[in-house]
Chains A and B, each alone.
Chain A
Amino acid sequence: MGRFTSVKTQAASVPPLQTQGPRLPNPYANAKFLIKAPFALVGFLIAILANRLFPQIADVAVTDYEFPSGFILNMNEAYELVLLGLILLYLIAGVYSWFDPDRRAKYLNRVPFRFAMGLALTAWDILGTKLLMLPQPFFPGPARIIESFLMEGDYILQNTLYSLRLFAVGFFVGVVVGVGTGILIGWFARVYYWVFPVLKLTGVIPAVAWMPFALTLFPTPFSAASFLIVICAWFPVAFATARGITSTPKSHFEVARTLGAKTSYLVFHVAIPHAIPNIFTGISTANGFAFTTLVMAEMMGQPGGLGYYINASKVWSAYYKVFASILVMAILFSLIMWAIGAVQGRVLRWQKGLIHE
């Protein structure tokens, strides 16, 4: 649940309709913002300057990479470009936040962290690349990690897309099957009796335990891994959905019945809407399981994917590539979670201001 905290706090800050009033501009608050906000960028600026100005003392090769367009880039330049990208990103976010007091407050709240992130990168860069003081080859500097993308960006992209495809197929099918099973279990006492115990028992088994069967029973490694993701998403979603359906207050059904509702209406317009918050809880649990299953499956016999890339790089002790893969995972999985959170916020907008933490 903790994963969606940010969505909820955001929701809680929306006041009920009646208490919403006009917002008056506060010039003092604006001045405070102007003074504090730039520190979000200053940390990264320091990181760029450190990379530029700090001499390369340790013996590290700085290779030039030529792109098909004739463009030439070394790892330090690429790293600085990434930092510049971050500065631009937070600059745009700052300008966007400027116009709204809530967003301004949120932005200011994050300034210290972003500043510290810049300083941490600076320290890492100096210790990791310039002085080579961290244990090698396990802890390369940030520029080295970025270098992986210069060396084989296409290949990383290819593996990323493989992971994404695997995740999309497995997770989508898993959620759909999970919601379907959950509804049947929650609605029909008989299905509950026969299926729920089975679900409870098999639900605790980590999906990768089925790997040997999956690999022999499915025609391709891709379908085998999809199957594992399907079952790992299936159980938590089915569980949560069933709980949401069975916990629907009797009074909701009675209200609907006095209004002329028949069974199908009770299922689709009373029980299921009531279960939607539970379904999203299930989906967020499933999401975490699915990432784990995805990477483990890829590390144990897939022809591609970010997990495969980690394994392949490890063999050559190319730990900077391992880190590159981890970085891509962090970004990709965060984006997926953000997207699911956005859908959730949209679907559950009737809860805005209802849930307080």
Chain B
Amino acid sequence: MSNHVLLGIENVYRTYVDDEDNKVEALYDVSLEIEKGEFVTIIGSSGCGKTTLLRLIAGLDTPLSGKLTIGGVPITGTDPERGYVFQQGGLFPWLTVENNIATGLKARGVYKQEKSRVQEYIELIGLQGFEKAFPHQISGGMAQRVAIARALINRPAALLLDEPMGALDSFTRADLQDKLLELWRHDETTMILVTHDIDEAIYLSDRIVIMTPRPGRISDIMEVSFPHPRHRGGVEFLTMRKTILEKLHLASALPEPEYRI
């Protein structure tokens, strides 16, 4: 395994101080290794540190202690090799769909050479005809696809997705899940997805990382070994679902609200 390790997270701690001066242990001794090309899902109730972990990997935040490495090199800041899809998508409202997608190329100063990739990604996400549309003119599902394409255009080694489908209806969500698998195969990008949807985790990932809050830590890691395409009503799927539910119940003593922004 260690040969193919892309991302190393070793004994990472991150503490916040909230408004009332209480210490919040967002991450407590978190260790995880993620392989090249893997699809890993992080699941857990709200407030268990999922976003915090993703931000550390992205280099948007630094740990209190512990080590984060990519390809053996310590992570010191943001880098286009680690794409990030934010919880709310965060498209630039003043840019058209195509210019949003082209942002990465322009920011790195390679737009002239790699211009054609913009159209390629527009086709991959199925948004032909919407190139000139502005973000508020397209649906939430389309906007998330644009956000994903925008992050992928830099050919990142890893794509970090923070509940990208949290605000979508279930049909759009299923659609986007398939699209995500397609993009994963197309680019062979390592995917790290945060979700609160157990079905989504089983449907998509190779491994499911279960986190628990207060302090935020990894309580379990599960392999999902049955092949794609996964049938959501299949026996293996449902068995897995039951196991995860039990673990989540065991994991959190108090029932937590399912989802919080």
User: Which residues on A are within 8 Å of B, measured CB to CB?
Assistant: 16-18, 251-252, 254-262, 265, 269-270, 273-274, 276, 350-354
* Set of chain B residues within 8 Å of A350, measured between Cβ atoms: 93-96, 134
Q: Within the assembled complex, what's the spacing in Å between the Cα atoms of A260 and B78?
A: 7
Whether the pair A354, B130 counts as a contact (CB closer than 8 A) is no
Q: Within the assembled complex, what's the spacing in Å between the Cα atoms of A70 and B248?
A: 97
* Set of chain B residues within 8 Å of A351, measured between Cβ atoms: 93
Binds A, one of B27-35, B102-110, B249-257: B102-110
Whether the pair A258, B84 counts as a contact (CB closer than 8 A) is yes
Binds A, one of B38-46, B112-120, B135-143, B237-245: B135-143
Chain B nearest CB, measured from A68 CB (Å): 53
Asked if B133 is an interface residue, CB under 8 A from chain A, the answer is yes
Which residue of chain A has its CB nearest to the CB of B84?
Answer: A258
Whether the pair A251, B88 counts as a contact (CB closer than 8 A) is yes
Whether the pair B84, A269 counts as a contact (CB closer than 8 A) is no
Candidate in A251, A255, A256 with the most chain B CB atoms within 10 angstroms? A255
**Contact flag A259-B154 (CB < 8 Å), given A16-B136, A254-B60, A269-B106:** yes
Contact of B137 among A257, A265, A270, A353 (CB under 8 A): A353
Chain B nearest CB, measured from A252 CB (Å): 7
**Contact flag A260-B133 (CB < 8 Å), given A251-B88, A255-B84, A273-B92:** no
Which residue of chain B has its CB nearest to the CB of A355?
Answer: B136
| Residue contacts A-B, CB under 8 angstroms, 6 given | A17-B133, A252-B90, A254-B90, A259-B83, A259-B104, A350-B96
Asked if B86 is an interface residue, CB under 8 A from chain A, the answer is yes
Interface of chain A, main secondary structure? helix
Q: Interface 1/0s, chain B 71-91, versus A by CB < 8 A? A: 000000011101110101010
Contact of A265 among B84, B107, B154 (CB under 8 A): B107
Q: Within the assembled complex, what's the spacing in Å between the Cα atoms of A212 and B154?
A: 59
Asked if B217 is an interface residue, CB under 8 A from chain A, the answer is no
* Set of chain A residues within 8 Å of B145, measured between Cβ atoms: none
Contact of B108 among A260, A270, A353 (CB under 8 A): A260
Whether the pair B103, A256 counts as a contact (CB closer than 8 A) is yes
Whether the pair A17, B138 counts as a contact (CB closer than 8 A) is yes
Whether the pair B107, A254 counts as a contact (CB closer than 8 A) is no
Q: Within the assembled complex, what's the spacing in Å between the Cα atoms of A17 and B143?
A: 14
Candidate in A269, A270, A274 with the most chain B CB atoms within 10 angstroms? A269
Q: Within the assembled complex, what's the spacing in Å between the Cα atoms of A251 and B59?
A: 14
Chain A nearest CB, measured from B238 CB (Å): 37
Q: Within the assembled complex, what's the spacing in Å between the Cα atoms of A274 and B94?
A: 8
Near A by CB (< 8 A), chain B positions 156-209 give none
Contact of A257 among B78, B95, B134, B138 (CB under 8 A): B78
Contact of B107 among A17, A252, A260, A273 (CB under 8 A): A260
Which residue of chain A has its CB nearest to the CB of B153?
Answer: A259
> Which 9 pairs from chain A and chain B are nearest by CB?
A260-B80, A261-B107, A259-B104, A258-B84, A17-B137, A257-B78, A260-B108, A16-B137, A350-B134
Which residue of chain B has its CB nearest to the CB of A354?
Answer: B136
Whether the pair A259, B137 counts as a contact (CB closer than 8 A) is no
Contact of B136 among A256, A273, A353 (CB under 8 A): A353
Please give 9 more A-B residue pairs, beta carbons under 8 A apart, in addition to A255-B86, A350-B94.
A17-B137, A255-B92, A257-B78, A258-B60, A258-B80, A265-B107, A269-B106, A273-B94, A351-B93
Which residue of chain A has its CB nearest to the CB of B142?
Answer: A18
* Set of chain B residues within 8 Å of A16, measured between Cβ atoms: 136-137
Contact of B86 among A254, A265, A354 (CB under 8 A): A254
Chain A nearest CB, measured from B165 CB (Å): 18
Q: Within the assembled complex, what's the spacing in Å between the Cα atoms of A259 and B105?
A: 8
Whether the pair A276, B78 counts as a contact (CB closer than 8 A) is no
Whether the pair B93, A259 counts as a contact (CB closer than 8 A) is no
Q: Within the assembled complex, what's the spacing in Å between the Cα atoms of A353 and B134?
A: 10
* Set of chain B residues within 8 Å of A354, measured between Cβ atoms: 93, 134, 136
Q: Within the assembled complex, what's the spacing in Å between the Cα atoms of A273 and B92?
A: 9
* Set of chain A residues within 8 Å of B133, measured between Cβ atoms: 17
Asked if B150 is an interface residue, CB under 8 A from chain A, the answer is yes
Asked if B58 is an interface residue, CB under 8 A from chain A, the answer is yes
Asked if B218 is an interface residue, CB under 8 A from chain A, the answer is no
Asked if B151 is an interface residue, CB under 8 A from chain A, the answer is yes
Q: Within the assembled complex, what's the spacing in Å between the Cα atoms of A254 and B84?
A: 9
Which residue of chain A has its CB nearest to the CB of B78?
Answer: A257
Q: Within the assembled complex, what's the spacing in Å between the Cα atoms of A352 and B107?
A: 26
Near A by CB (< 8 A), chain B positions 204-261 give none
Q: Within the assembled complex, what's the spacing in Å between the Cα atoms of A255 and B101?
A: 12
* Set of chain A residues within 8 Å of B60, measured between Cβ atoms: 254, 257-258
Whether the pair A255, B134 counts as a contact (CB closer than 8 A) is no
* Set of chain A residues within 8 Å of B93, measured between Cβ atoms: 350-351, 354
Whether the pair A251, B90 counts as a contact (CB closer than 8 A) is yes
* Set of chain B residues within 8 Å of A254, measured between Cβ atoms: 60, 78, 84, 86, 90
